[in-house]
């Protein structure tokens, strides 16, 4: 009996110990699972949730600190998408890991850092009297040492958004402010620090966004058309469709004031689709009126290629309007052609296959990628206005223009000079071998009805030089 009691005691103790052990293991596993939920698998640093949680704790414990002691810096990997396309995702992943290593390297004791987005890292840093710019300079020094691939090294760039802690914001507000700097900075500004007027600008932008959507619904956009003229015959051979916004309160808003914002907000795809459809409808109308036939060119933003099925959009516009594809031209910029090369080449080839022409806009301003000239089926090369404007006075501009014309000719493209304003420019550009001109010398962009009148008499004495 006594033995049975002892045995029972031992057994229940063993059972209890097993129970405690199992419970302890569950707690450990839960803790590990929670830890994993907060960690970015690829880089091993905090993910967004982990960063926010640890950042919140740091801020809570630093309430006694005075303003300006802590800063949140967001580092953005520039053009990760392009790197992935050009070098493969494995190399892209290496860049992401190098960013994580660099942030880890520059972080001080008690600083919190993490990967807060696919291509963004955040660092909540105690400044100890330093300027945030010193920390960023340090990052810029360390980062390249972590990249072994030379070609990749060439492409490496980052932007940084900074917000200094005011002693009141919570971690989310602080992060949003630093992130806002990345959304509003210009391309040649690597570091941008939060200022209170950024917030008001953000509110203004939000208003602009909803106004643009309203404008699309209420017919406030209109296409103007600018003639493209043959240097040889003076004949109008095409027109470029350029958008105009008749704002109910502000009046006329030029494209340079809203196209970049529309790109930033992702509305540009809707605007460009509207532009394409409107231009095709207009072109068909002119054809039905039996006017002098002209090619209509339409500007296409980069987003159209990245975010939408632009081939389907073009097919739809042509089918819906019955416009002859051989009179449609799509203008793309060279920077755009560089972005996602394989995809862009593929789509442009398909569009070209429909009989639509492709023209390279603003040539001579961006990367001037000769490789893209080889792979993309460009029919027209548009020399940028910045070269044309001083072609008569600046020998370098003249030489570059001459070289671009020679190259365009060698590749069997039509070469057009943009922004032609004077008779002297016309003479020189003709001598250099340019085929077409577009500019105020011939005509400003005009509403459709005025162009209609010009197409009844498509050659005038001024146009033939
Ligand atoms: P862009 O495609 O390079 O268009 C040519 C711009 O140069 C037009 O400005 C035109 O009015 C202006 N221009 C033409 N000839 C001359 C000249 O002799 N002298 C001067 N100083 N300027 C001249 P605009 O209409 O203000 O358009 C600006 C930019 O906005 C365009 O540049 C294009 O990038 C963009 N854009 C316009 N409409 C659309 C559109 O429907 N969709 C998209 N995605 N972008 C558009
Ligand atoms: Ca254009
Ligand atoms: Ca242009």
In a domain, 24, yes or no: no
In a domain, 348, yes or no: yes
Q: Specify the pLDDT at position 1.
A: 59
| Residues 379, 309 share a domain | yes
Q: Where are the beta strands (DSSP E) in 286-413?
A: 295-299, 328-333, 357-363, 380-383
Locate the ligand 1 atom nearest the alpha carbon of residue 420 and give its number. Answer: 18
**CATH at 109:** 3.30.70.270
As beta bridge partners, residue 183 has: none
* pLDDT for 309 beyond 50: yes
Residue 232, exposed/middle/buried by CB under 10 A (0-12, 13-18, 19+)? exposed
In a domain, 336, yes or no: yes
Contacts of 129 (CB under 8 A, 6+ apart): none
User: Contact 435/415 with Cβ under 8 angstroms?
Assistant: yes
DSSP at 325: G
> Which pair of tokens denotes residue 17?
């110990």
In terms of pLDDT, which residue wins out, 327 or 7? 327
255 lines ligand 1 (CB under 6 A): yes
Ligand 1: residue of 261, 279, 299 to mutate (most ligand atoms within 8 A of CB) is 299
Q: Which of 26-35, 255-264, 316-325, 426-435 has the lowest mean pLDDT?
A: 26-35
pTM beyond 0.85, yes or no: no
Confidence of residue 464 (pLDDT cuts 50, 70, 90): very low
Ligand 1: residue of 241, 242, 259 to mutate (most ligand atoms within 8 A of CB) is 242
Q: Specify the pLDDT at position 321.
A: 98
| Residues 394, 256 share a domain | yes
How many CB atoms are located within 10 Å of the residue 63 CB?
8
Final residue before a domain boundary, out of 169, 194, 219: 194
Locate the ligand 1 atom nearest the alpha carbon of residue 268 and give its number. Answer: 44
Final residue before a domain boundary, out of 194, 220, 238: 194
Q: Cα–Cα distance between 299 and 332 in angstroms, integer?
A: 6
* pLDDT for 185 beyond 60: yes
Q: What is the pLDDT of residues 227-277, one digit of tens each?
A: 999 999 999 999 999 999 999 999 999 999 999 889 877 799 999 999 999
Q: Which of 24-38, 200-214, 354-368 has the lowest mean pLDDT?
A: 24-38
What is residue 118's three-state secondary structure? Answer: coil
| Distance, C-alpha 40 to centroid of its chain | 26
Contacts of 53 (CB under 8 A, 6+ apart): 38
Q: What is the DSSP string of 431-443?
A: HHT--EEESTTT-
| Residues 224, 162 share a domain | no
In terms of pLDDT, which residue wins out, 454 or 12? 454
| Residues 424, 356 share a domain | yes
Confidence of residue 107 (pLDDT cuts 50, 70, 90): very high
Q: Specify the pLDDT at position 465.
A: 46
| Residues 408, 301 share a domain | yes
Q: Which of 85-94, 236-245, 423-432 has the lowest mean pLDDT?
A: 85-94
| Residues 216, 99 share a domain | no
Q: Cα–Cα distance between 360 and 336 in angstroms, integer?
A: 10
In a domain, 442, yes or no: yes
In a domain, 154, yes or no: yes
Nearest ligand to the C-alpha atom of residue 242: 1
263 lines ligand 1 (CB under 6 A): no
| Residues 222, 77 share a domain | no
Helices vs. strands in the chain: H and E counts, helices first: 19, 15
Of 439, 360, 357, the residue nearest 404 (C-alpha): 360
Q: Specify the pLDDT at position 461.
A: 46
Of 146, 169, 206, 151, the residue nearest 71 (C-alpha): 169
Final residue before a domain boundary, out of 173, 194, 215: 194
Q: What is the pLDDT of residues 358-387, one digit of tens each?
A: 999 999 876 556 777 778 889 999 999 999
Q: Give distance in angstroms: CA of 242 to centre of ligand 2.
A: 8
Q: Give distance in angstroms: CA of 120 to centre of ligand 2.
A: 33
In a domain, 35, yes or no: no
Locate the ligand 1 atom nearest the alpha carbon of residue 254 and give its number. Answer: 26
Q: Specify the pLDDT at position 216.
A: 96
364 lines ligand 1 (CB under 6 A): no
Look at strands 446-447 and 221-230 and give their pairing.
antiparallel
Q: Cα–Cα distance between 91 and 85 in angstroms, integer?
A: 10
User: Contact 271/279 with Cβ under 8 angstroms?
Assistant: no
Phi and psi at 169, nearest 5°, equal: -60, 150
Place of tokens 């011939």: 442
Q: Which domain holds residue 159?
A: 48-194
């Amino acid at each position: 009996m006594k033995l049975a009691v002892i045995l029972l005691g031992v057994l229940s103790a063993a059972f209890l110990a097993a129970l405690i052990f199992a419970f302890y293991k569950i707690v450990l596993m839960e803790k590990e699972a929670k830890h994993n939920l907060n960690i970015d698998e690829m880089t091993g640093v905090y993910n967004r949730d982990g960063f926010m949680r640890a950042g919140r704790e740091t801020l809570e414990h630093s309430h006694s600190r005075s303003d300006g002691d802590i800063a949140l810096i967001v580092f953005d990997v520039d053009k990760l998408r392009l790197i992935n396309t050009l070098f493969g995702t494995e190399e892209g992943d290496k860049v992401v890991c190098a960013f994580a290593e660099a942030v880890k390297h520059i972080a001080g004791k008690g600083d919190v850092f993490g990967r807060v987005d696919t291509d963004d890292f955040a660092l909540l840093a105690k400044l100890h009297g330093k300027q945030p710019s010193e920390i960023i300079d340090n990052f810029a020094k360390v980062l390249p040492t972590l990249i072994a691939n030379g070609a990749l090294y060439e492409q490496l760039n980052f932007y940084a958004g900074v917000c200094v802690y005011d002693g009141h914001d919570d971690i989310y507000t602080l992060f949003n402010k630093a992130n806002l700097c990345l959304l509003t900075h210009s391309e040649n500004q690597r570091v941008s620090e939060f200022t209170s007027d950024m917030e008001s600008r953000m509110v203004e932008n939000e208003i602009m966004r909803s106004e643009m959507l309203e404008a699309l619904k209420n017919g406030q956009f209109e296409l103007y058309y600018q003639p493209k003229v043959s240097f040889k015959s003076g004949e109008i051979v095409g027109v470029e469709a350029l958008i105009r916004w008749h704002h109910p309160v502000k009046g006329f808003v030029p494209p340079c004031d809203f196209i970049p914002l529309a790109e930033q907000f992702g509305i540009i795809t809707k605007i460009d689709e509207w532009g394409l459809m409107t231009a095709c409808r207009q072109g068909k109308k002119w054809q039905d009126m039996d006017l002098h036939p002209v090619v209509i060119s339409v500007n296409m933003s980069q987003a159209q290629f990245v975010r939408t099925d632009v081939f389907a959009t073009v097919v739809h516009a042509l089918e819906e309007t019955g416009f002859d594809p051989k009179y449609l031209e799509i203008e793309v910029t060279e920077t755009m052609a560089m972005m996602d090369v394989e995809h862009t080449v593929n789509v442009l080839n398909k569009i070209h296959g429909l009989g639509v022409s492709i023209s390279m806009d603003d040539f001579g301003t961006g990367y001037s990628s000769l490789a893209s000239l080889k792979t993309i089926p460009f029919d027209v090369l548009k020399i940028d206005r910045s070269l044309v404007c001083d072609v008569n006075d600046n020998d370098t501009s003249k030489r570059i223009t001459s070289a671009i014309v020679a190259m365009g000719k060698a590749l069997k493209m039509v070469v057009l000079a943009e922004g032609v304003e004077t008779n002297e420019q016309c003479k020189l550009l003709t001598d250099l071998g340019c085929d077409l001109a577009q500019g105020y010398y011939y005509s400003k962009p005009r509403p459709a009805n005025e162009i209609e009148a010009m197409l009844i008499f498509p050659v005038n004495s001024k146009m033939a030089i």
